[in-house]
Amino acid sequence: MRHGGSGEYISHLSWNAARQIRSLFSKQLASLTLGDAGAAVMVERAPRGSGIDVIGFTTLAEHSRLCLAFPSSVGPGAQMYTKSRTLHRVAIEDMAPLVAETIAEAGIELGDIDYLIPHQTSARAIRAGTQEFVRRLGTSPKHVVVNLEEYGNTSSTTLFVALHKYLEEQRIRKGDRVMLLALASGIEIGMAIFTIDSLVDSYGHTH
């Protein structure tokens, strides 16, 4: 199906939301933030003690009803219902001790992170979350990556789309410590800390 004249498919999840949404308080508001992207990551064996410093996951199932997606009732494709304000509040509240645990496992402080790359939902939510982590942990990551302006929320590719862009632009350099922060319906929370190694050598030559 095509949207009148403009060539866009009306089955797009955002279009389904656009047809139904009435106000700022709509539970489909988050559907309007989604963008499309593909990402891939290759991992390989490295000497013990090198490579990914820490990687971890947890599930906060008591909040599982805050973000639901299923086939649309108004057309082809899907629709997604998110209680965005509650989701952000509980995510920030519950993530702070998890961030503390992860950086402690890595034997560092939050201030030792050169680039914090969080899941991209809204710039305001990322700022609020970062402020809360800083308030609780006492130090601040040197950079917090926000790439929403040109990509929107590209689901779980966001972390790697951001990493790829910063590598290509040679903003992330060898020796920089990066922390990835995944947040998903469930609520699923994932974290990874690693130090940039010769990975950077393959990027930035096209600029």
Which residues inside 131-190 make contact with other proteins, applying CB under 8 A? 146, 148-161, 163-165, 167, 180, 182-186, 188-190
Q: CA of 33: how far to CAs of 30, 44, 61, 91, in Å?
A: 5, 34, 24, 18
Interface residue with other proteins, options 119, 133, 137, 141 (CB under 8 A)? 119
Minimum CB distance to other proteins smaller for 19 or for 136: 19
Residues contacting residue 7 through CB under 8 Å, at least 6 positions apart: none
5 binds other proteins (CB under 8 A): no
Q: How far is the CB of 135 from other proteins (least distance, A)?
A: 19
Cα–Cα distance between 50 and 177 in angstroms, integer? 13
Q: Tell which residue, 181, 153, 155, 189, has the closest CA to residue 61.
A: 189
Question: How many residues would you count in the chain?
Answer: 207
What is the C-alpha separation between 180 and 191, in angstroms, rounded? 5
- Residue in 91, 92, 103, 106 binding other proteins, rule: CB under 8 A: 106
Nearest distance from C-beta of residue 142 to other proteins, angstroms: 20
> Applying CB under 8 A, does 128 fall inside the site for other proteins?
no
List the interface residues with other proteins, window 69-98 (CB under 8 A): 76-78, 97-98
Positions in 37-66 near other proteins (CB under 8 A): 37-58
